[in-house]
Chains A and B, each alone.
Chain A
Amino acid sequence: MLKQIEGSRAVAEAVALCRPEVICAYPITPQTHIVENLGQLVKTGELSNCEFINVESEFAALSVAIGASATGARAYTATASQGLLFMAEAVYNASGLGLPIVMTIGNRAIGAPINIWNDQQDSMSMRDAGWIQLYAETNQEAVDLHIQAVRLAEELSVPVMVCVDGFILTHAYERVDLPSQEQVDAFVPAYEPRQVLDPAEPVTIGAMVGPEAFTEVRYLAHYRQMQALWLIPELAEEFEQHFGRAAGGLLRPYHTEAAETLVVALGSVNGTIKDVVDQLNDEGVAIGCVSITSFRPFPARKLRETIGHARRVVVIEKSLAVGIGGIVSTDVRMALAGAGIPVFTVIAGLGGRAITQASLHDVLTKAHHDALQRLTFLDLRHDVIHREIERLETQRRSGPVAENILRELGSVADHIG
């Protein structure tokens, strides 16, 4: 059914259609509306046979989800930013134990400095924690990925994060086609756990494992994610047959075949990138783009097949590995190892800075003419940086950097774009 609703509401309705049995909730911006809506759906009885548990922290939220999942319940939670960091230990435990929890991340920057706005540093910080990570480009895809995530998680017994750009998607009202309960029931069968805590048949889950077997347990976690490289496209295909629209898969190419310059990105920024790709193609620039949906497992082979013919690749990423540069770029370079294709990193949209068509047009034109530096910070305010560096060099007690800059620029978030 077509609806014009907020992204968070759409995600909540999609999650409810998957019949979760335990939802653990702790609010944090910009994810709060998702669990609020789910709480409402449980309270009104629209989502039945589900326990909605308010917990005291994010660490508790995922810990309760782990406990619930270990008893054979379909468990769900959502978080963002510092909340994800606070649950970090449990994030590793959920995957280490092979518990198929689905968690939404309303992507948001990580402090300090404290910042409520969107980037993808939070989920990137957990990229190696053993969870499958799927990134949504639109709210329609956020809905569809959650439905696929439940199947994927339970078939492999691996937890899945569905990453949805905070505010840009979570707070956006746009057209979303929500499937019926019957459609979702036919796609997502009842949960058949591989392991259950059951007093009738006692087992231990979470025993200590020494050097004799730790590598094997970790290898099997890797093995399951490698299986996901096959299962994710299969589920996407089945989803399309079943629901009549394409969603998910490992990655999605756009005008890639004839392109000399290829842009790679994750999440909602791909929409703006596609508009800019269209503009540049109209101007005679041979450019295309690839939206990576599955960041973990990383579809290295598929990516190489898709972009291996390019003369150059530009990775636009909403996170920063301080001390090296790009996070996504590093994996893209690995996928292209030996191909001799230069990979440019563009760090963009940090802490909610708008990624505009004009800036993308400029940076991609430069890249196409090989006039871009290997690491570029989109719309970096060089004057601000120079003044602060000068302050650092001339004064020992130069004071807190963020506050120095704010004093120069005025109030928080008062600019358009």
Chain B
Amino acid sequence: MFQVRIHGRGGQGVVSAAEMLSIAGFLEGRHTQAFPSFGSERMGAPVMAFCRFDDKEIRLREPVMAPDALIIQDTTLLHQVNLFEGVCDAGYVLINSTRTPSELGLDDFFASRPGIRVLTVPASQLALEHVGRPLPNAALLGGFAALTGIIRFDSVAAAIAEKFSGRIASSNVAAAKAAYEIAVTATREASAAC
């Protein structure tokens, strides 16, 4: 089983992101399960959503306690919620930011967990460019496909197109594609550096 936890704030499309991820997995013939964990139901409040992938039926209903991948949609949560709780040693962390993990003050954490692969992508900026609104969720899924390789970009694009329609769908796919390209380049550079 591969488990993903997404952190963000109410109104940023955290729940939709998990849902689209589950649709992408489904389109590849896998069993997937996405569900949200709401705090108080309002804009701006911390929200979590989860997505599980497996080759067999997923019966487990607990929240994702030990994620293989974390997606952080809003860096203002970094010092408010215990975002990294339970993250696996060989896990992935994808952060929506124009800054590097180092500039975000995360050097100590990632130095203590050298197995974790971390990447930042400017998803809000890409969304603003392509969609016209700073909703980072779809773009982050493009980055997620490149960083983890557990899902194909085409499946992500198809899931976005299923969730949205018309120009909103195509512009979100474009934002996701841009994030995907950035992440592919960054991941390639990182493996070259190793």
Contact = CB atoms under 8 A, between A and B. Distances in A.
Interface in A356-377: 356-358
Interface in B1-51: 5, 15, 18-19, 22-23, 26-27, 31-41, 46, 48
Contacts of B38: 116-117, 167, 413
B62 A354 contact: yes
A254 to B, nearest CB: 10
Given A173-B34, A272-B62, A412-B40, A4 B26 contact: yes
A268 B61 contact: yes
Q: How extensive is the interface on chain A, given as a class?
A: 20 to 34
Interface stretch (B78-86, B117-125, B137-145): B78-86
B52 to A, nearest CB: 9
Contacts of A285: none
Contacts of A117: 38
Given A167-B36, A172-B34, A416 B63 contact: yes
B104 interface: no
Interface in A163-204: 167-168, 171-175
Residue of B19, B33, B62 with most partner-chain A CB within 10 A: B62
A116 B39 contact: no
B35 A416 contact: no
A173 B48 contact: no
Given A116-B41, A413-B39, A413-B40, A272 B32 contact: no
A416 B40 CA distance: 14
A173 B32 contact: yes
Residue of B18, B32, B37 with most partner-chain A CB within 10 A: B37
B contacts with A: majority SS: mixed
B62 A173 contact: no
A269 B61 CA distance: 7
A412 B39 contact: yes
A29 interface: yes
Interface string A1-26: 00010100000000000000000000
A416 B65 contact: yes
Contacts of B22: 4, 173-174
B167 interface: no
Given A174-B33, A416-B85, A271 B59 contact: yes
B22 to A, nearest CB: 4
A244 interface: no
Contacts of A354: 62-63
Contact of A416 (B23, B31, B34, B48): B48
B68 to A, nearest CB: 15
Nearest to A272: B61
Given A175-B26, A271-B60, A414 B36 contact: no
B62 A171 contact: no
B90 interface: no
A417 interface: yes
A6 B60 CA distance: 17
B65 A356 contact: yes
A173 B63 contact: no
Contacts of B61: 168, 268-269, 271-272, 355
Contacts of A171: 15, 35-36
Contacts of B35: 167-168, 171-173
Contacts of B128: none
B60 A357 contact: yes
A99 B19 CA distance: 38
Interface residues of B, number: 33
Contacts of A333: none
A117 B27 CA distance: 30
B113 to A, nearest CB: 17
B32 A175 contact: yes
Interface in A99-130: 116-117
Contact of A414 (B23, B33, B46, B62): B46
B58 interface: yes
A274 interface: yes
A275 interface: yes
A315 B41 CA distance: 32
Nearest to A117: B38
A292 B27 CA distance: 33
Contact of B39 (A168, A172, A270, A414): A414
A4 B32 contact: yes
A271 B39 CA distance: 24
Contacts of A414: 39, 46, 81
Contact of B59 (A116, A173, A272): A272
Nearest to A415: B82
Contacts of A356: 62-63, 65
A230 B61 CA distance: 31
A344 B41 CA distance: 36
Given A4-B26, A414-B39, A355 B31 contact: no
Nearest to A411: B39
B39 to A, nearest CB: 4
Interface string A236-277: 000000000000000000000000000000001111101100
9 contacts: A4-B27, A167-B35, A171-B35, A172-B35, A272-B59, A272-B61, A416-B82, A416-B86, A417-B65
Interface of A: 4, 6, 29, 116-117, 138, 167-168, 171-175, 268-272, 274-275, 354-358, 411-414, 416-417
Interface of B: 5, 15, 18-19, 22-23, 26-27, 31-41, 46, 48, 58-65, 81-82, 85-86
Nearest first, the 5 closest Cβ-Cβ pairs linking A and B are A271-B59, A4-B26, A172-B35, A173-B34, A413-B39
